[in-house]
Amino acid sequence: MAPPTVLNSGEPDARRPHVVFVPSAGMGHLLPFFRFIGALSSHDVDISVVTVFPTVSAAEADHFAALFRDFPSIRRLDFHLLPFDASEFPGADQFLLRWEALRRSMHLLAPVIAGVTPRATAVVTDITLLSHVNPIAKDLHLQCHVLFISSAAMMSLASYFPVYLDNKDAQADVGDVDIPGVRLLKRSWLPQPLLDVSKLFTKQFIENGREMVKTDGVLINTFDALEPVALAALRDGTVVRGFPSVFAVGPYSSLASETKAADAESSALVWLNQQPARSVVYVAFGNRCTVSHEQLREIAAGLEASGCRFLWILKTTVVDRDEAAGVRDVLGDGFLERVRGRGMVTKAWVDQEAILGHPAVGLFLSHSGWNSVTEAAAAGVPLLAWPRGGDHRVAATVVASSGVGVWMEHWSWDGEEWVVSGEEIGKKVKEMMADAAVRERAAKVGEEAAKAVAEGGTSHTSMLEFVAKLKAA
Ligand code: UDP
Ligand code: UDP
């Protein structure tokens, strides 16, 4: 038997993995990265994070700063983007443009990663950058993993969609997509840009989806009890043959730094402290505005008509640095006065995980962004899903199938002209607040989530397997 290797003190441990994270842009993408990095930092690994300044939004800058402040051992690898002419894509979303700018600069990443000490052993990147980052990692003989920011259902769509296009008649429109072993996704549930394969988003989506199978593994913020069918089909190669290792390691916990970054949380939480148990509807549609102002006014009318207490996180712009209209401008005169005492509306960044964990919250009216779904699942709070766009309807299929909540499938989403009336919203909110069975199902999911991340649970075990894989590099 070979003698054990004895290392001199001070000599770097050659077996200790060094993981270089290459995140993308947008809080929905960055928060899961930060949370996963926080969780991984308690294991025996070195961590570096590729960082691009300036960020698109102020919230992104705040959270990057908090990460490096709270985890001093994590190295920051500054990365400079090449000049990028956005006029090529008139009207494109600023976050999508940042993804494209990142993708076009990714070849400059190879020397950055090759130059780190101790030597890098693995790269973990965002799906939006995968088709550029995976080849770089492979050239450097490093493991490459994807940290996927959405559900296993969405992962199955992302990896199967290129196969679906290859097999369909090239002239035919994109239709329903029947993902082998997972489920049929109706055409109207797909992220809207996927219906047009010439769109920038769709080109990226297809290239990145094809690359997935060439990676060493995918990390997903989900857990086996939440998405048993999609996870099994990914793992056994039913979705795409030869699929890499799947590590279902969620739900992630927020970092202490997020609580600090939330300047309004104290007032929102102080207000919640004064409300009776399970009496408050928490309303939030993600970190940017995804609802027309006309629809926002109907939501206001619905909340008022429901008679319920509510806490509403209202975003009025896509990027928080933009000039923003005030709450009063959007919701109209008199609303705040009429609901005084039973309703709170804030535009600030809040600590959503703390809010969902508060005993006063009885329902979450949400756009069903995946991070929000997993946070509701972890808290065991019923979610009333009103998808707005992107992957939200795919996420809503999981909300409905898992017991986290109820999906209003016929409510409109971005690009559909009609608005859902305040009367209908108010009725549904009131009904769900009174529904004991819905509450019970959500609570059960919360128990499963806690079991998954506890020692010996499926997500805990998956995390240990991921770390073992890193060590085998
Ligand atoms: N979030 C938060 N405070 C806010 C707004 C958003 O903590 O004021 C967090 C929320 O908890 C979630 C993430 O931002 O973790 C939003 O991600 P999600 O996938 O739900 O939606 P997106 O914003 O990407 O559409
Ligand atoms: N996505 C993907 N490949 C890509 C770009 C995005 O699979 O190249 C996925 C992403 O993980 C998310 C969905 O497509 O689940 C929509 O992306 P986006 O961040 O725009 O979502 P939104 O914030 O609009 O919900």
Could you report the per-residue pLDDT of 319-355, keeping only the tens digit for each?
776 656 678 888 888 999 999 999 999 888 888 999 9
Asked if residues 195 and 173 have their Cβ atoms less than 8 Å apart, the reply is yes
Do residues 269 and 133 both lie within one domain? no
At residue 11, the pLDDT reads 53
- For tokens 């920051």, the residue is 76
Do residues 239 and 94 both lie within one domain? yes
Instruction: Kindly state whether residue 183 falls inside one of the protein's structural domains.
Output: yes
Indicate the number of domains in the chain: 2
Q: Determine which one of 46, 62, 126, 351 is catalytic.
A: 126
The answer to whether 29 is a known catalytic residue is: yes
Asked if residues 160 and 239 have their Cβ atoms less than 8 Å apart, the reply is yes
Could you report the per-residue pLDDT of 391-448, keeping only the tens digit for each?
999 999 999 999 999 999 999 998 887 899 999 999 999 999 999 999 999 999 999 9
Give the ranges where 313-435 is alpha helix by DSSP (H). 327-331, 335-338, 352-356, 370-379, 392-402, 422-433
Average pLDDT over residues 210-238: 98
Q: Is the CB of 403 under 6 A from ligand 2?
A: no
Instruction: Kindly state whether residue 1 falls inside one of the protein's structural domains.
Output: no
Structural domain containing residue 414: 265-450
CA of 371, nearest ligand number: 1
Do residues 162 and 33 both lie within one domain? yes
Q: Is the CB of 218 under 6 A from ligand 2?
A: no
Ligand 1 pocket, CB under 6 A? 27-28, 31, 286-287, 313, 349-352, 369-372, 375
Do residues 282 and 161 both lie within one domain? no
Q: Is the CB of 199 under 6 A from ligand 2?
A: no
At residue 252, the pLDDT reads 96
pTM for the predicted model, two decimal places: 0.94
Do residues 355 and 436 both lie within one domain? yes
Average pLDDT over residues 437-460: 98
Average pLDDT over residues 176-186: 98
Quote the percentage of the chain above a pLDDT of 70: 94
Do residues 145 and 278 both lie within one domain? no
- Indicate whether 3 pLDDT > 50: no
Do residues 343 and 375 both lie within one domain? yes
Instruction: Kindly state whether residue 461 falls inside one of the protein's structural domains.
Output: yes
Asked if residues 137 and 19 have their Cβ atoms less than 8 Å apart, the reply is no
Instruction: Kindly state whether residue 259 falls inside one of the protein's structural domains.
Output: no
The answer to whether 62 is a known catalytic residue is: no
Do residues 446 and 457 both lie within one domain? no
Do residues 117 and 204 both lie within one domain? yes
- Indicate whether 171 pLDDT > 50: yes
Q: Identify the three-state secondary structure at position 89.
A: coil
- Indicate whether 10 pLDDT > 80: no
Do residues 200 and 104 both lie within one domain? yes
- Which CATH number goes with the domain that contains 246? 3.40.50.2000
Residues 6+ apart with CB under 8 A from 68: 49, 74, 76
